[in-house]
Structure 1
Amino acid sequence: MTDFLLELRSEEIPARMQKGARAELEKLFRAKLGEAGLTASAITVYSTPRRLALIAKGLADETQAVSEERKGPRADAPDKAIEGFLRSTGLTRDQLVEREDKKGNAVLFAVIETPGLATRDVLAEAIPAIVREFSWPKSMRWGAASQSTESLRWVRPLSGIVALFGEQVVECEVHGVTSGAVTLGHRFHHRGDITIGDADDYAVKLRAGHVIVDHEEREAIVRDGATKAAADAGLSLVADEGLVVENAGLTEWPVPLLGRFDAAFLDVPQEVIQLTARVNQKYFVCEDGEGHLANAFVCTANIDATDGGTALVAGNEKVLAARLSDAKFFWDLDRKTPLAVHAEKLKDIVFHEKLGTVADKVDRVAKLARWLVEEGIVGDGKPEIADLAQKAAELCKADLVTEMVGEFPELQGLMGGYYAAAEGLGPRVAAAIRDHYKPVGQGDDVPTAPVTVAVSLADKLDTLIAFFLIEERPSGSRDPFALRRATLSIIALVIRSGLKLPIERVCHVMTAVLLSDRYVIQQSAKIDTVEELAEILGDAVDTSSREKLLEEAFSPESLKDAGATSWANFGHRTTTEVLDFFADRLKVQQREAGVRHDLIDAVFALGGEDDLVRLLARVKALQAFVETPEGTDLIAGYKRASNILKKGEVSAAEQQNLSYTPEAAEKALIDSLAEAEPRARSAVNAENFEGAMAALASLRDPIDRFFEEVTVNDEDETKRAARHALLARFRAAVNQVADFSKIEG
């Protein structure tokens, strides 16, 4: 068994591409080995800014010989058929073998012996193929050959190939670069070539040339060295694993060094300082003993400087000072203009061609945020909270046009919060502006402050309903406006604060608000005329008149009316689609939380419920119940009853005409139902779903006894009908809580 070394050397490979490149190299190499019938006992892949390297352990010296047998035509077949078979196999007629088939016919067979190939030869063909098939996020052509689209594409110009099978060079050529045993060391610390003997001394010899080929070792040096540099100065490093990986990908000989910046810059928000240091310069930032940002940073040099890094640190300090000066300029400049004035510029930014500008969206969000508070859906309905929610919503997007967010888009919302606080708008407004985008994804903080929740909910509800209204719904994997994420965020907000959010009613309100916007009306082909809408809609954003408006516009009666306007029908359809979309997202969210999908379906199947908190309480109570012996037995009884009733049920009128004296087991079930039905109904109405389950649990023994002692499908038609009616009553009682037919098992 022999080891193989491959190094592909080039100009600097971007740090962000190195992880993917390592995976791609291993994948392609394994594929080429598999095609040749070879396997390696272990494969290790390394990367530095200037090279990708792979070491495969334990390769056989040659591939196995293969014997293949092909069945051909009969021996007495026409000459043309036999000649065609010979051409396909590359054999002559006398090399074929005759055998009798089951019918006694003489049939020709070709036995093709393929001798084993030297692994070195296999690798010589594989290396150019790997390089040509390599997939990079971005690649380039270079040199004179780049004039042809057939020339090699690589992330950066390829400059060297080391290919050793054992101690022997695997000879190959790619784009004018021939393989060998020679590589280069560190760009500054090592002069001349480095000759590699075999795979075992590759890392050792490169280390002697000031190159650490193992990316994980470099990451550890960066991580530990930066932590130590900060600790030596009495500080603590702000952990940033992404920055660790990036610095390791930028250096072949990493040396972390501590630098300082003017403490006056600490007046700038710490997130700005951290982003400036991180994004622009790839520096770590530090904190003091009290957890405050310190005027210190850690940079990672790529050389071991003779002066201990003094000159390097001084240069980095100058560069960071210039960057921080820009950030401070933006910070000071943005604060000179009130957020309300910044917000005026949102009129010049198109949100969507069918939904108007960002200013139009802000106006809708402010109206909905106020309505959510006034209706008691968020907070306690106090006018003060409604005013604050409206104010925060009106300013929540204002920082999008500031200089700071223009430089660092990641700070949207956050900078608005800082500017609001600096302007004296109050902590609740500032917090709402800062956090209204949250939660952004799974694991993100979920706001709970009423003002923030109102603005965040309104923002996401507007996005969701507006895009559904203009028929920009997600389909398959396509979700360009992140409506699935917005819906999951709404669900998280509702669950975290236990909000009674009537989604259907909110959809009605939001549709009315959207359709009251002249821009939306003019863009929508679904609206008959602006005048017709205005006559029916009236002042759709005035709370006192909105309920009457919605009652008239969205009631089933008005929708059935032949004279109902197309916008009302359109709004009703949108509401139905949004409700279905919420149901699907809630199922996904709950499945990921470990809730059984069949139980979710069982609760949703009841319909007529759009209160997410109440739905989830019902699902959780159901899950706890079905995992008990009582629940298991009751489900079995329910399914048995349902199967019997599939063959025919008794109508209510027929039940009243039945004159029949029940048996003891029937009487026991009737009495239990008489007690359990109202208890379960009352518990459901009080949203006490555990109590409803407890009421249903009392039916377990009576239904078991019923099936044990009673012949349901009695020959007597009256008895059979009465017992079917009783089972139907039992099924209806159970279905008060959930549709048990959806429950598996």
Structure 2
Amino acid sequence: MADLLIELLSEEIPARMQAKAAADFSKLMTDGLKEAGLTHGAVTSYVTPRRLTLAIDGLPLAQPDTREERRGPKADAPEKALAGFLGSVGMTLDQVEKRETPKGTFLFAVIERKGRATAEVLPELLYKAILAMPWPKSMRWARGQFAWVRPLHSILAILDGAPLKGGLALGVSLEGKPVSFLPDVAEAPEGIATLAFGNTTRGHRFLAPDPFTVTGLADYVEKLRAAHVMLDREERKAVISKGMAAIASGEGLVIKDDPGLLEEVCGLVEWPVPMMGHIDKAFMDVPPEVLTTSMRSHQKYFSVETAEGALNARFIVVSNMDATDSSSRVVSGNERVLRARLSDAKFFWDQDRKAPLASKVSSLGSRIFHAQLGTDLDKVERVRALAAVIAASVPGADTALVDRSAELAKADLVTGLVGEFPELQGVMGRYYALHDGEPPEVAEAIREHYSPVGPNDSCPSALASVCVALADKLDTLAGFWLIGDKPTGSKDPFALRRAALGVIRLIVENGLRVSLTALIEAAAQGHAHQRPALKDPIAADLMAFIGDRLKVQQREKGVRHDHIEAVFALGGEDDLVRLLARVAALSALLETEEGANLLAAYRRAMNIVRIEEKKDGAPISGAPDSTLYAQGEETVLDAALAALDVAVAPALAAEDFAAAMRALAQLRAPVDAFFDQVTVNADQSALRTNRLRLLARIGAAMGTLADFSKIEG
């Protein structure tokens, strides 16, 4: 058995591409090995900013020998058919066999292939994997035609301690034809740039730039570490995290948790060295979100906080240098760069506050929200109107606060700071509103009206915030539905699925008793007022879309989708709070023994009714005649169904779905007794029809609570 080590050394690979690149390269190589008939053991991949590394152990020294048998035409087939078969297998007539079969005498070719040495198979396999890498973006360099994410410097490829032969062509031949895999780089046509497979690599770009040879994975890892390269990504993350925590704790501070930034910074350094710098006091009156965003987005610095969570005038930079003797210069250089960045942010902060937020609303008319849906000012007007409708349906909502919040919600989009940092929209609107003396409820609603933006984002609970956030999302959904720009497959460029989930959370988590269909129609009407051409009815389709999102959301919470479907199938339910209460009651019933047995009895009853309807060619209709009951079980079941009707109606009216389900559970005993003692298909036609009507009544009675035919299992 042999071990394979591959390293592709290049210019810096973008951090966001590294993890996928490592997985893609590993899959391409292992798929190639499988296709070549080469088994293998463990596969380990590594990635740093400059290198993709793959280690595969347990490779055989050669491919297995293969034996393939092919049947050809009949022995007396036309000469052209015989020649075609012989040509396809590369044999002559005397090299193939003639065999008798029940259908005649046929030619058979037995093709035996000797397995090639693994060292001969791997070079071209590696070449194909390198070319097949699915980079989001690629580039060419020098005069070559070869494209990759960044210029390749070297390819280390070692099998059992020896380098693979061959290499990669980076250009085209003198005749302009692409040059494929080169078995021998020394024989490449003149003028063709090549990259030979070898056993050498380099360490850190600045700290250890000289090449060195390696013999295998252990030697490779050890020599890279000596050359200031930490190969393992998780180790680099741990070094960064522990180093930052140690520096901060020495000052009685903590690092602001930022897993995304940690992942990115880990992809920027091969030898991470955390260092602490200081933020000039002059910038500390700028909102902390601005400082944090500027440091994170532009400089990849980590923010530092006090134990109470307040932003501190320090930051952490992760250097890619072992700067023991020059750490002060590294820190001072980063502080100087940060001052320039924060000076811009402070300038925008000061400029934006010179005019009140309300004065910026009119400027939204120059910003296009969507070519077919108008400007941001158009959207503001629609959201104001819809928010007023929502506020009228929400007890306790202050319509004046809701209207002012909706009016100012988008105004910060035209400010300098949001132009520089779009991710701060809403956040900066809150600061500007407070600076202008707007009510705190309005300021919070401006900040929260984009929420919730994901399953882990907090959901607004203040009524003004809820009304504006709900109006904003429903307006967006209705608008895109009206122009026919809906999500398709995995494509959702306007995040409409996320908006639908936001609508669900705002309604459900705040217990809003609203008609979602009516709100959708009001949202569509707002668009029709501005653009009369947008008048198509969309409520049913958009309601179905939101219903699908609700099923997904509830399934993730452990609620069975078929229980939701059973309640949805009743139709006419657009109060999400009431719908989920009914689903919860149904789930609780079906988890009991009575509920499970009742469901089985329902299915039995409906199967009988369905079979007999098909046999008779007509539906079972009409109420059963109590004078035709021949057995006590029929009378008892009829009485139980009547009692159910009496109990369920007031329970549903009071929205006491648990009580309605408990009443339904009382059917179990009389239904079981009916099936145990009564023969439905009686000889007398009138008796049979009456009993079928009684069974149909079971389905009708249970159908007032849910469509039990949708329940699976």
Return the TM-score normalized by structure 2. 0.92
Q: Which amino acid aligns with 2:503?
A: I
**Does 2:479 match 1:466?**
yes
Give, in whole Å, the separation in 2 of the partners of 1:644 and 1:40: 58
Distance change >3 Å, CA 591–CA 245, structure 1 → 2: closer
State which drifts further: 660-669 or 348-357.
660-669
2:123 and 2:164 in contact (8 A); partners too: yes
The 5 A counterparts of 1:196-235 are 196-235=214-253
1:392 and 1:432 in contact (8 A); partners too: yes
Q: Which amino acid aligns with 1:60?
A: P
Q: Secondary structure at the match of 2:450?
A: coil
Distance change >3 Å, CA 334–CA 467, structure 1 → 2: same
Aligned equivalent of 1:156, options 150, 153, 158: 150
**Does 2:593 match 1:629?**
yes
Give, in whole Å, the separation in 2 of the partners of 1:125 and 1:575: 58
The 5 A counterparts of 1:683-722 are 683-722=651-690
Give the gaps of 5 or more residues in structure 1. 146-150, 527-566
In structure 2, the residue matched to 1:485 is 498
Distance change >3 Å, CA 373–CA 280, structure 1 → 2: same
**Does 2:256 match 1:238?**
yes
The 5 A counterparts of 1:336-415 are 336-374=354-392, 377-381=393-397, 385-415=398-428
Distance change >3 Å, CA 113–CA 655, structure 1 → 2: closer
Give, in whole Å, the separation in 2 of the partners of 1:660 and 1:213: 85
2:475 and 2:524 in contact (8 A); partners too: no
Q: Which amino acid aligns with 1:80?
A: K
State which drifts further: 213-222 or 337-346.
213-222
Distance change >3 Å, CA 743–CA 211, structure 1 → 2: closer
Q: Secondary structure at the match of 1:33?
A: helix
In structure 2, the residue matched to 1:537 is none
**Does 2:49 match 1:36?**
no
Give, in whole Å, the separation in 2 of the partners of 1:581 and 1:106: 64
Give, in whole Å, the separation in 1 of the partners of 2:100 and 2:352: 93
Q: Secondary structure at the match of 1:144?
A: coil
Aligned equivalent of 1:605, options 569, 574, 580: 569
Instruction: Give the superposition deviation at 1:201.
Output: 0.5
Give, in whole Å, the separation in 2 of the partners of 1:140 and 1:693: 65
Residue deviations 1:394-430 (CA, integer Å, cap 9, x gap): 1111111111111111111111112112222121111
Aligned equivalent of 2:328, options 284, 292, 310: 310
Q: Which amino acid aligns with 1:399?
A: D
Q: Which amino acid aligns with 1:427?
A: P
Residue deviations 1:581-634 (CA, integer Å, cap 9, x gap): 232222222223222222222111111211111111111111110121111222
Give, in whole Å, the separation in 2 of the partners of 1:75 and 1:129: 41
Distance change >3 Å, CA 243–CA 472, structure 1 → 2: closer
Distance change >3 Å, CA 199–CA 353, structure 1 → 2: closer
**Does 2:286 match 1:268?**
yes
Q: Secondary structure at the match of 2:538?
A: helix
Give, in whole Å, the separation in 1 of the partners of 2:326 and 2:247: 13
Q: Secondary structure at the match of 2:91?
A: coil
Instruction: Give the superposition deviation at 1:238.
Output: 1.2
Q: Secondary structure at the match of 2:394?
A: coil
2:624 and 2:691 in contact (8 A); partners too: no
Q: Which amino acid aligns with 1:173?
A: G
Give, in whole Å, the separation in 1 of the partners of 2:391 and 2:83: 87
Q: Secondary structure at the match of 1:137?
A: coil
State which drifts further: 297-306 or 274-283.
297-306
Residue deviations 1:233-260 (CA, integer Å, cap 9, x gap): 2211112222222222212211111111
1:73 and 1:107 in contact (8 A); partners too: yes
Residue deviations 1:689-744 (CA, integer Å, cap 9, x gap): 00001111111111222222233333334433433333333332211111222223
In structure 1, the residue matched to 2:181 is none
1:26 and 1:54 in contact (8 A); partners too: yes
Residue deviations 1:482-504 (CA, integer Å, cap 9, x gap): 22221111111111011112012
1:366 and 1:390 in contact (8 A); partners too: yes
Residue deviations 1:510-544 (CA, integer Å, cap 9, x gap): 33333222xx12xx1x6xxxxxxxxxxxxxxxxxx
Q: Secondary structure at the match of 1:63?
A: coil
Q: Which amino acid aligns with 1:671?
A: A
**Does 2:688 match 1:724?**
no
In structure 2, the residue matched to 1:641 is 605
In structure 2, the residue matched to 1:295 is 313
Q: Which amino acid aligns with 1:629?
A: E
Give, in whole Å, the separation in 2 of the partners of 1:177 and 1:75: 52
Q: Secondary structure at the match of 1:508?
A: helix
In structure 1, the residue matched to 2:186 is none
In structure 1, the residue matched to 2:77 is 77
Instruction: Give the superposition deviation at 1:136.
Output: 1.1
**Does 2:197 match 1:179?**
yes
In structure 2, the residue matched to 1:434 is 447
Q: Which amino acid aligns with 2:368?
A: V
Give, in whole Å, the separation in 1 of the partners of 2:201 and 2:326: 28
State which drifts further: 732-741 or 239-248.
239-248
**Matched length:** 683
Give, in whole Å, the separation in 2 of the partners of 1:101 and 1:31: 39
2:200 and 2:212 in contact (8 A); partners too: yes
Distance change >3 Å, CA 192–CA 698, structure 1 → 2: closer
Distance change >3 Å, CA 102–CA 644, structure 1 → 2: closer
State which drifts further: 52-61 or 76-85.
76-85
1:396 and 1:413 in contact (8 A); partners too: yes
State which drifts further: 5-14 or 74-83.
74-83
In structure 2, the residue matched to 1:423 is 436
1:484 and 1:585 in contact (8 A); partners too: yes
Q: Which amino acid aligns with 2:396?
A: D
Residue deviations 1:316-338 (CA, integer Å, cap 9, x gap): 11111111111111111111121
In structure 2, the residue matched to 1:6 is 6
Give, in whole Å, the separation in 2 of the partners of 1:680 and 1:183: 78
In structure 1, the residue matched to 2:57 is 57
1:649 and 1:725 in contact (8 A); partners too: no
**Does 2:556 match 1:588?**
no
Distance change >3 Å, CA 92–CA 361, structure 1 → 2: same
Residue deviations 1:630-672 (CA, integer Å, cap 9, x gap): 11222222223323333255654x757x754653222222222
Aligned equivalent of 2:164, options 160, 165, 170: 170
State which drifts further: 583-592 or 492-501.
583-592
Distance change >3 Å, CA 662–CA 111, structure 1 → 2: closer
Instruction: Give the superposition deviation at 1:153.
Output: 0.4
Q: Secondary structure at the match of 1:136?
A: coil
State which drifts further: 429-438 or 639-648.
639-648
In structure 1, the residue matched to 2:116 is 117
Give, in whole Å, the separation in 1 of the partners of 2:217 and 2:692: 81
Residue deviations 1:273-317 (CA, integer Å, cap 9, x gap): 111111111111111132211111111111112425011001111
Q: Secondary structure at the match of 1:311?
A: helix
Q: Aligned Cα RMSD in Å?
A: 1.9
Distance change >3 Å, CA 475–CA 55, structure 1 → 2: closer
Q: Secondary structure at the match of 1:250?
A: coil
Q: Which amino acid aligns with 2:528?
A: L
Q: Which amino acid aligns with 1:587?
A: K
Instruction: Give the superposition deviation at 1:478.
Output: 3.8
Instruction: Give the superposition deviation at 1:191.
Output: 4.7
